């Protein structure tokens, strides 16, 4: 009998909590799809760094598990409160508390099981989308094929079931402590309320706003350090919760004083509903704000990394193959022969970099650029002949340049051009001659240890002839593709080999002791050989190990938060039906009632989102500024935060419209009827 009753109640829950069910289906689908990336053979085939993707997805899964536990625990507690009178009736009919607890447990497990099974179907399609995206990011062809791994299913089921079991851990204990009276009145309080000094609580609102402004000031003017950053973040999270503790009291005071707009149309009704809802959900609304904030920040950071991987390949690796050798007179014959065996060489050039036993430029960058230190640069400033420079420019399709007497050019990474500009305004001593800068160029030129480290100084050929050759380079453009491990093949020509046991290259000698690699921070490689197509593949895959988990966390957090918002309103619709019937009897027409419903839901949905929007917008602005410093990718904040807002705003609107339609149907569907339950 209990099983039949559980099935009947579960079917009713499918209807009453459809949005919750669909969210769990979506979460299951995403979990299955992302977990499949960890076990995918096709992903391992295209990149050696597949293990890092698995590690990052595992870390993301940890946070996903926490939020699923919170959601399931919240929904179980919420459903138990809404059905408390039903459970009290079961007690009156002779059911034992243990039977009721087991009945509710069966219903909850059935709800979760159905969501899990349904979620596997879209999960398989989402798996194909993710695999296709990864292949597209590394410019590889992918033929759609279903890949079913037992490990994927077991991991997804284990995480899902584990989250449910942890969330339901206290279920029986809660029912054991309940009596008939508690169950009869449980649905009238969503959270424990403590009435206190309203004026004192109003000050919480202003204190929270002040702290948020102070946090923004600290952020903008760079006053954060290793000692205060974590206390300030903890204070920001605490201020979000305090904000809602004070907001309800603030709204109540605003209404009592009859401030502007209170008595216009049905605003007093809407404001009173909002004030009451905030008071009973202050902790939940604080949590939802934090979830929205994390989702927006995570998505914005993912878009920053995506912008980096799409724009930096031409600056970091403009040549198809770049080879360094510490011997300035090295001939590169072996490397050239190896390249010819794999691809057609369209152009190749061997040349030298020079030094003048001076480090004026190095010293300037170290002193004036926050990321610069001695390890980033060569021991001496690096110089290049004008003729070599123009040949390289011709290879890359750039316009050739010229130099006058006692002039030099500075070719530097774009993110450092502004920092280096003051240096070029002063005469620069080159071999005892004061030279002036004829210009600064920032096109991509392979400046991460090859054509200098961050920069190269271009001087007339006759000036370079008086200097000491520093090291040699070969830049090559090819037609065709090369094997994925072709970089190792070229290193082997120089006697450099990969040691699997030590997990490092052997044979570099002491050249690395004085070789600079520049100040790149996001993606750094110290190899003597750069093969453009392979480096791009590795970089894009490594970026994807961060991009995918960030979007994964953001989407789950967003959907969980929106589910709680929607379920709260739809479950209270029986109460609101009574109140809206009173408004109808007071003379409000259906069009006006629709307007009130829309306004009520809009303010309710806006409440946690607007705070998250303002806080995350400021944080993303700060991160974006730092991102420019570290990456050199210059783009307005709206290109990251705005797109994140549009993406999540679209999902937000889907939940809002679904809630509005269902809420309106529940309220106005029984037109002319006054619900026999619910309180005004």
Q: What are phi and psi of 15, to 5 degrees?
A: -80, -45
- Give dist(CA 305, CA 263) in Å, integer: 49
Note whether 101 and 176 are within 8 A (CB).
yes
Sign of the CA dihedral with 52 first, then 57, 60, and 66 last: negative
Q: Based on the number of CB atoms within 10 Å of its own CB, is 512 exposed (0-12), middle (13-18) or buried (19 or more)?
A: middle
Secondary structure of residue 499 in the 3-state scheme: strand
Query: 484, 540, 131: which is closest to 310 by C-alpha?
Result: 540
- Give dist(CA 434, CA 515) in Å, integer: 27
- Give dist(CA 319, CA 443) in Å, integer: 12
- Give dist(CA 615, CA 297) in Å, integer: 10
DSSP state for residue 448 in the 8-state scheme: B
- Give dist(CA 132, CA 421) in Å, integer: 44
Those residues of the chain that have pLDDT short of 50 are 190-195, 511-512, 670-680
> Which residues in 329-368 are b (16+ Cβ under 10 Å) and which e?
ebebeebbebbeeebebeebebbbbbbbebbebbebbbee
So what's the pLDDT on residue 569? 84
Note whether 38 and 53 are within 8 A (CB).
yes
Residue 139 CB coordination number (10 Å) = 12
The stretches of 257-326 forming alpha helices (DSSP H) are 267-280, 282-311, 313-316
Sorted by sequence, the CB contacts under 8 Å of residue 660 that are 6+ apart come out as: 597, 598, 601
Query: 103, 35, 92: which is closest to 65 by C-alpha?
Result: 35
- Give dist(CA 251, CA 198) in Å, integer: 10
> Which residues in 117-126 are b (16+ Cβ under 10 Å) and which e?
ebbbebbbeb
DSSP state for residue 170 in the 8-state scheme: T
Residue 424 CB coordination number (10 Å) = 18
Secondary structure of residue 289 in the 3-state scheme: helix
Sorted by sequence, the CB contacts under 8 Å of residue 308 that are 6+ apart come out as: 522, 523, 543, 627, 631, 633
So what's the pLDDT on residue 318? 92
So what's the pLDDT on residue 49? 60
Beta-bridge partners for 351: 473
- Give dist(CA 632, CA 418) in Å, integer: 11
Sorted by sequence, the CB contacts under 8 Å of residue 263 that are 6+ apart come out as: none
- Give dist(CA 634, CA 624) in Å, integer: 9
- SS3 per-residue string spanning 52-106: HHHHHHHHHHHHHHHHHHHHHHHHHHHHHHHCHHHHHHHHHCCCCHHHHHHHHHH
So what's the pLDDT on residue 512? 45
How many residues are recorded in the chain? Answer: 680
CA atoms within 13 A on the CB side of 341: 10
So what's the pLDDT on residue 151? 83
Query: How is the beta sheet containing 344-355 ordered, strand by strand?
Result: 428-430, 433-441, 407-412, 455-459, 383-385, 344-355, 468-479, 321-325, 529-531
Secondary structure of residue 121 in the 3-state scheme: helix
Q: Based on the number of CB atoms within 10 Å of its own CB, is 494 exposed (0-12), middle (13-18) or buried (19 or more)?
A: buried
Secondary structure of residue 654 in the 3-state scheme: helix
Query: 443, 286, 447, 275: which is closest to 361 by C-alpha?
Result: 447
DSSP track, 230-265: HHHHHHHHHHHHHHHHHHHHHHHHHHHTT-TTTTST
Given the structure tokens 């309103």, which residue do they identify?
A: 569
Query: 211, 210, 208, 216: which is closest to 618 by C-alpha?
Result: 216
DSSP state for residue 218 in the 8-state scheme: H
Give the angle subtended at the CA of 41 by the CAs of 39 and 42, to the nearest 5°. 120
Note whether 48 and 483 are within 8 A (CB).
no
Given the structure tokens 């299951």, which residue do they identify?
A: 28
Sorted by sequence, the CB contacts under 8 Å of residue 534 that are 6+ apart come out as: 482, 484, 485, 486, 487
């Amino acid at each position: 009998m209990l099983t039949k009753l559980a099935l009947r109640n579960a079917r009713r829950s499918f209807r009453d909590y459809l949005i919750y069910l669909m969210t769990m289906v979506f979460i299951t689908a995403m979990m299955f799809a992302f977990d499949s990336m960890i076990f995918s053979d096709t992903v391992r085939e295209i990149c050696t760094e597949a293990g890092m993707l698995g590690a990052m997805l595992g870390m993301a899964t940890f946070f996903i598990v926490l939020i699923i536990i919170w959601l399931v625990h919240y929904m179980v507690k919420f459903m138990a409160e809404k059905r408390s009178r039903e459970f009290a009736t079961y007690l009156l009919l002779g059911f034992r508390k243990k039977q009721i607890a087991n009945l509710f447990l069966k219903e909850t497990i059935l709800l979760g099981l159905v969501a899990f099974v349904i979620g596997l179907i879209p999960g398989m399609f989402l798996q194909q989308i993710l695999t296709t995206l990864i292949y597209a990011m590394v410019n590889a062809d992918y033929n759609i094929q279903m890949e079913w791994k037992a490990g994927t299913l077991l991991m997804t089921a284990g995480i899902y079931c584990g989250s449910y079991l942890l969330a339901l851990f206290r279920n029986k204990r809660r029912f054991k402590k309940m009596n008939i009276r508690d169950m009869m009145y449980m649905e009238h309080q969503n959270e424990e309320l403590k009435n206190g000094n309203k004026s004192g609580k109003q000050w919480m609102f202003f204190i929270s706003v002040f702290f948020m402004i102070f946090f923004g000031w600290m952020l903008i003017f760079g006053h954060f350090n290793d000692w205060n950053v974590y206390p300030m973040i903890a204070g920001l999270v605490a201020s979000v919760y305090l904000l809602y503790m004070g907001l309800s009291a603030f709204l109540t005071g605003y209404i009592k004083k009859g401030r502007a707009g209170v008595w216009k149309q049905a605003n007093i009704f809407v404001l009173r509903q909002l004030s009451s809802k905030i008071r009973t959900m202050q902790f939940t609304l604080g949590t939802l704000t934090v979830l929205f904030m994390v989702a927006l920040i995570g998505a914005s950071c993912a878009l920053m990394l995506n912008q980096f991987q799409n724009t930096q390949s031409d600056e970091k690796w403009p040549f198809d193959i770049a080879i360094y050798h510490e011997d300035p007179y090295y001939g590169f014959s072996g490397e050239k022969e190896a390249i010819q065996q794999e691809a057609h060489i369209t152009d190749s050039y061997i040349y030298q970099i020079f030094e003048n036993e001076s480090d004026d430029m190095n010293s300037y960058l170290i002193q004036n650029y926050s990321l610069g230190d001695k390890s980033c640069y060569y021991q001496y400033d690096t110089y290049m002949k004008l003729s070599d420079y123009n040949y390289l420019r011709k290879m890359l399709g750039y316009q050739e340049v010229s130099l006058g007497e006692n002039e030099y050019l500075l070719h530097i990474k774009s993110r450092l051009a502004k920092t280096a500009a003051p240096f070029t305004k002063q005469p620069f001593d080159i071999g005892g001659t004061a030279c002036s800068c004829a210009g600064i160029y920032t096109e991509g030129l392979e400046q991460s240890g090859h054509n200098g480290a961050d920069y190269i100084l271009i001087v007339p050929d006759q000036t370079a002839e008086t200097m000491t050759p520093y090291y040699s380079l070969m830049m090559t453009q090819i037609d065709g593709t090369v094997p994925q491990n072709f970089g190792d093949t070229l290193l082997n020509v120089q006697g450099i080999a990969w040691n699997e046991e030590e997990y490092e290259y052997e044979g570099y000698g002491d050249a690395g002791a004085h070789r600079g690699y520049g100040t790149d921070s996001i993606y750094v490689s110290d190899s003597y050989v750069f093969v453009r197509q392979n480096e791009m593949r590795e970089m894009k895959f490594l970026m994807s190990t961060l991009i995918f988990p960030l979007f994964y966390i953001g989407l789950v957090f967003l959907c969980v938060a929106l589910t709680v918002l929607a379920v709260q309103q739809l479950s209270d619709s029986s109460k609101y039906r009574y109140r809206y019937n009173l408004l109808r009897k007071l003379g409000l027409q259906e069009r006006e009632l629709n307007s009130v419903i829309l306004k009520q839901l809009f303010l309710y949905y806006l409440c946690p989102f607007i705070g998250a929007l303002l806080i995350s917008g400021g944080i993303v602005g700060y991160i974006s500024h730092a991102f420019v410093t570290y990456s050199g990718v210059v783009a307005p904040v709206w290109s990251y935060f705005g797109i994140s807002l549009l993406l999540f705003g679209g999902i937000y609107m889907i939940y809002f419209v679904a809630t509005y339609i269902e809420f309106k149907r529940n309220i106005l569907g029984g037109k002319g009827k006054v619900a026999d339950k619910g309180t005004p």
